Amino acid sequence: MNLKEYIIEKSREVGIDLIRFTDCEPLNRVKDFMLERKGKGYMTEFEEENIEKRLNPKATFPDCKSIIVIGVSYNVDYDERPEFYLKGKLSKASWGQDYHRVLKEKIEKLIFEIEKKTEFSYVYFVDTGPLIDRELARKSGVGFYGKNCSVINEKYGSFIFLGYILTDLPLEKDEVEEEKCGQCELCIKACPTGAIEKPYRINPKKCVSYLTQSKEDIPYDLRTRMGIKIYGCDTCQLVCPKNKNVQKSEHNEFIPNDTKGYLDIVELFQMSNKNFKGKYGSMAGSWRGKKILKRNCLVALGNMKDERSLDFLKKVLADKEPMMRKYAAWAILNINKNIGGNIIKDALKVEVDKDVKNEMERLLKIFHI
């Protein structure tokens, strides 16, 4: 058994579903694409700004000779629903335990096993590294690009978390998989905000997944398309035929035992930061903190258009956070602009924050009140 075969065997033992290998040559195939994104202003606050670091493994790890790319499926079989009434939806990526911790633990176990066989230098990343992990996954043969830019594996579909290890080991690289979407464009048609502008091209700043994580103000026209999603968006993956009849994940860490895939909106607004961290701190969606999730919950309430939530929203108009008062005002008007108009006019009489007052007045004009 050679070293590569040994690594593959040990990866299975530590619970890694997919493992492939590639070289450390720059990812020049996507250089023009990255420059195009930068030129269009599509770069987000979550990305490494230096394109050289995004493309060249040796800019991060000069001694790099090979890259080990791993994938772990999070497509768990689960269909329970919570009983609470006002709920916001979490994407599958945030159903169970924080995948950063889960994958880091598996990668560290794999590294431990490799070190039993040979000495080597390395650096590893899960989602937070400078390199384009999806391009590494494509190049190594983990999967091929879908037209929604997700990496699709024939066995597991696209609900896979990615990680990679830059090493100084001379490991043979694997073959690239051919793209297999054919004429299908279901993901493009299903995208609620039109973020998938054309095959293999996404405007991330219109993507619901980005909107639910960004601290930037959510444009009015995109709020109404977010539905009740408060963290992430699975729409383009759920409609993908390549996710039908695939092998389900066997990783119990990703089963949403605590949330059932939703957050109780009323409870969230009543929770202290300490209680929030205690209950939800282990899920991936908690990294942005309670404040952004609360904002997203207000958008979700507005989109539910259920007048029974107006009493709750009126209380939020007195929240100490100006952002909450702004988004509560939008939600109230989006539910019922006639009833909401009177509520916001009354709120204006007691509102002291200039920015909040300006936002309320702007909303009254937008809703033609």
Token look-up 């250089």 returns: 31
Q: Are residues 359 and 224 in the same domain?
A: yes
Q: Are residues 145 and 15 in the same domain?
A: yes
> Rounded to two decimals, what is the model's pTM?
0.94
CB 58 within 8 A of CB 64: yes
pLDDT at 231 (0 to 100): 97
Q: Are residues 158 and 288 in the same domain?
A: no
Q: Are residues 211 and 302 in the same domain?
A: yes
Q: Are residues 116 and 218 in the same domain?
A: no
Burial (CB count <10 Å: 0-12, 13-18, 19+), residue 81 = exposed
Q: Are residues 159 and 202 in the same domain?
A: no
Question: For each of the chain's 369 residues, which pLDDT tens digit applies?
Answer: 899 999 999 999 999 999 999 999 999 999 999 999 989 999 888 888 899 999 999 999 999 999 999 999 999 999 888 887 899 999 999 999 999 999 999 999 999 999 999 999 999 999 989 999 999 999 999 999 999 999 999 999 999 999 999 999 999 999 999 899 999 999 999 999 999 999 999 999 999 999 999 999 999 999 999 999 999 999 999 999 999 999 999 999 999 988 999 999 999 999 999 999 999 999 998 988 899 999 999 999 999 999 999 999 999 999 999 999 999 999 999 999 999 999 999 999 999 999 999 999 999 999 999
Token look-up 């904002």 returns: 295
CB 354 within 8 A of CB 361: no
Within a domain: 176:
no
Question: Is residue 127 annotated as part of the catalytic site, yes or no?
Answer: yes
Q: Of 63, 77, 98, 127, which residue is the catalytic one? A: 127
Q: Are residues 288 and 219 in the same domain?
A: yes
How many distinct structural domains can be found in the chain?
2
**Cα dihedral 346, 350, 353, 354 in deg (nearest 10):** 60
Range of the domain at 356: 186-366
Two structure tokens written together for 122: 């390395």
Q: Are residues 52 and 107 in the same domain?
A: yes
Q: Are residues 239 and 276 in the same domain?
A: yes
| Number of alpha carbons in the 13 Å side-chain half-sphere of residue 19 | 23
Q: Are residues 265 and 160 in the same domain?
A: no
Q: Are residues 195 and 248 in the same domain?
A: yes
Question: Which stretch of DSSP H or E encloses residue 301?
Answer: helix 290-304
Within a domain: 178:
no
Which residues have CB under 8 Å from 70's CB, separation 6+? 11, 16, 18, 19, 103, 106, 107, 110, 162, 163, 164, 165
Question: Among residues 136, 167, 198, which one ends one of the domains?
Answer: 167
Using DSSP's 3-state secondary structure scheme, residue 94 falls into helix
Within a domain: 181:
no
Give me the numbers of helices (H) and strands (E) for the chain, helices first please: 17, 11
